[in-house]
Amino acid sequence: MEITTQPTDLTEQINSWKEEVNEVREEVKLMRERLEQIALSSAPREVMQKVEHFENRLLRQREVADETFHDLKQCAKKISAQAQTVTHDDRPVCDYETMSNRMEIFQKLFVELKEDFNHFMVSEL
């Protein structure tokens, strides 16, 4: 089944995802600052091991956010270079479906990380 989609609709969705990725970047920055405070304290060794564990997870989350943001920018460029309407077979151009799936996974993994982090912060403070 063919569907016609306006590039502006696709661009709006991509811009929304870019905003979400930027929000995740900011949250990761705040989480790292909180970990830094614990790392500077004289916490027990097992707490410091957990701090290191979360530092690594947050570092990886930031890397994934940066990669995702870059790919979203590239996807937006491809869409803006297209004609006024885009005809597709249930799959918008520029691997939009792939980006949508990646964003779902990105969101799910960040929610899990945030829950784990908040549980750690509550249990250690």
Residues in the chain: 125
Give the tokens for residue 92: 């918008």
Q: Which pLDDT belongs to residue 78?
A: 82
**Structure confidence by residue, pLDDT tens digits, 41-79:** 988 999 999 999 999 999 999 999 999 999 999 888 887
The range of the structural domain enclosing residue 77 comes to: 3-124
Element (H or E) spanning 10, and its range?
A: helix 7-40
Q: How far is CA 8 from the centre of its chain?
A: 22
Query: What would the DSSP string read from start to end of 88-113?
Result: ESSS-TTTHHHHHHHHHHHHHHHHHH
Q: Is 44 helix (H, G, I), strand (E, B) or coil?
A: coil
Single out the residue of 72, 93, 107 nearest to residue 6, CA to CA: 93
Q: Is the pLDDT of residue 122 over 80?
A: yes
Number of domains in the chain: 1
The pTM score is: 0.79
